[in-house]
Amino acid sequence: MASYLNQIRFNDIPVSNLEYSLEWYQSYLGFDVQYKNDDIGILRLERGPGLILIRSDNRSSNGKINMEGKAVPMIGFETYQIDKLYRILRAKGVPVSPIRDESIGRLFGFLDPDGNMYSVLKCNL
């Protein structure tokens, strides 16, 4: 079947406090704010899809999915400096999981202020 899609352009992330979350993603993760209004903020990195932070009172999924009774991240980031990023996030009090060595590389998970769950990978490939 021919694909009618070109790429993943963005991911929507529910947040309770848009201004605080925009600052958090900038300060802690290095995102640039491309656009913002009262209800959304568009964040970008150098490459890859953007994140659209959406002001929301309903955070029923909290940015994670459930596999066999265990919450797992819905979005994964890639880094070349996993140890440095891990130390920075821990020092700032961000909830992080231990770094794990897997066949694809080293990875860890973290939560944003709204409990949205992410993973970070330093790929071996």
Please tell me the predicted confidence (pLDDT) of residue 4.
Answer: 75
pLDDT tens digits, residue range 45-104? 999 999 999 998 865 556 666 667 787 788 999 999 999 999 999 999 999 999 999 999
Residue 38 falls inside a structural domain = yes
pLDDT at 93: 97
pTM of the full predicted structure? 0.85
Q: Classify residue 2: in a domain, yes or no.
A: no
What pLDDT score does 38 carry?
94
Domain housing 64:
10-123
Percent of the chain residues past pLDDT 90, beyond the cut: 74
CATH number at residue 22: 3.10.180.10
Closest listed residue to residue 51, CA positions, set 108, 95, 7, 13: 13
Does residue 4 belong to any structural domain of this protein?
Answer: no
**pLDDT on residue 63:** 60
Angle at 114 between CA 13 and CA 84, to 5 degrees: 90
Positive or negative torsion for Cα 104, 105, 108, 113? negative
Domain count, the chain: 1
Average pLDDT over the chain reads: 90
Q: Return the residue matching tokens 């964040």.
A: 43
